[in-house]
A = this chain, B = another copy of it.
């Protein structure tokens, strides 16, 4: 069994609620919407990502025999209820933002319309799938905006939170504009370009650093990127200059070097000088080590001659904002709008649509959050992607999504792209009919 696809990858309360719905025959149509209650203070926008995996999950949702057996034995569930799960399928429809679409607080990125038990059970894993990729794509986009024209590579697998996070981080970062990932499986699974250099251990396993460089270059002639900082960065750069002519005689070009510690800007400047003076002006410099968009800006502002960056831990764990307040809330049941009024957590009821306004040249000027059946000016963003439990279109190629992200980032208000200061929040107007509906519901519920 592939654990990641298990229907039991959910919260127990979904099943206890399903047992109640089963007992009460509550199978009317429910409408749930998934949205961010607020943005982290370190984020000016988010990029909706992970829809591909969410739709895959919904299409393939079913209980395996061993899962039903476990539920039956586990206690708390009646045999009739467990038996009812045998034919459980997701038969509903889904509206969603196309992957890579920028969105803001309160704007639904996914709407599920399905019989209540189906729409309920999927809550936990839908959030889990959309939360992580959205988190990473949004973080990666900030890195892309901070380092225009630079080669950015996801190096974060080892400190991503588990296997799935590592894989999804590679995908999300690539969608946001990274050149690729060091994670090999992401290459095989998603056809994402994979990048790799060498680690300190290869150098350390040789008695002489120059032997390590030569052996590596000979074994990997098409991709020679050498790591300079195992002992002393500038000494290593000079060894490389001495080695280059011998490699050239053997038809091997050095493509790049990597610096992984110390003052990266200062080392890059010195190494650039040594390489240029040694006739290796074409050799590129990559940097890595605790990087993120803040460090990228510092390094580039300081004029560090660095051509590419490996961004690891702080990307894959989104360390400055490691979670988003993404929730999935009931907005309508049995034809009636519904509203939760919990303190600080009240929701906007009904089936909503985001209407996005642009200038003539495409720049975003603001959104209106309204009801789907009361269209307003602007481009409606949520589109139907699933009906009767089946997708309406094949998976989107990653390059299409990358293009969409590129256009989204270019169209954002400049202050939101700057990544520093405290820009005024992007304007999202709540349509009058939505406010009126909420007020009407509040008066009704006691």
Contacts and interface: CB of A to CB of B under 8 A. Distances in A.
A23 B205 CA distance: 14
Nearest to A224: B16
A167 B6 CA distance: 11
Interface in A368-417: none
A157 B11 contact: yes
B215 A70 contact: no
Contact of A261 (B6, B75, B344): B344
A204 interface: yes
B157 A116 contact: no
Contact of A343 (B182, B262, B343): B262
Interface string A1-16: 0111010111111111
A13 B205 CA distance: 15
Given A30-B205, A123-B158, A204-B330, A183 B11 contact: yes
A360 interface: no
B16 A128 contact: no
A201 B17 contact: yes
B231 A188 contact: no
Given A3-B167, A164-B164, A220-B19, A159 B262 contact: no
A194 interface: yes
A326 B156 CA distance: 12
Contact of A159 (B12, B188, B323, B340): B323
Nearest to A10: B184
A35 interface: no
Contacts of A164: 3-4, 161-165
A91 interface: no
Interface residues of A, number: 107
Contacts of A165: 161-162, 164-165
Interface in A157-205: 157-168, 182-185, 187-189, 194-202, 204-205
Contacts of A160: 128, 161
A132 B157 contact: no
Contacts of A149: none
A232 B445 CA distance: 10
A193 B35 CA distance: 31
A218 B446 CA distance: 23
Interface string A216-254: 101110110000011110010000000000000000000
Interface in A1-45: 2-4, 6, 8-17, 19-24, 26, 30, 32
Nearest to A195: B12
Given A196-B13, A342-B260, A333 B205 contact: yes
A7 to B, nearest CB: 9
Given A19-B220, A76-B220, A230-B340, A11 B161 contact: no
B183 A219 contact: no
A67 interface: yes
A319 B74 CA distance: 32
B20 A219 contact: yes
A222 to B, nearest CB: 6
A308 to B, nearest CB: 14
Interface string A315-334: 00111001110100110011
A25 B58 CA distance: 49
Interface string A138-169: 00000000000000000101111111111110
A49 interface: no
A438 B267 CA distance: 25
A311 B339 CA distance: 25
- The 9 lowest CB-CB distance pairs between A and B, nearest first, are A12-B196, A162-B164, A161-B161, A13-B196, A262-B343, A161-B165, A4-B163, A261-B342, A201-B330
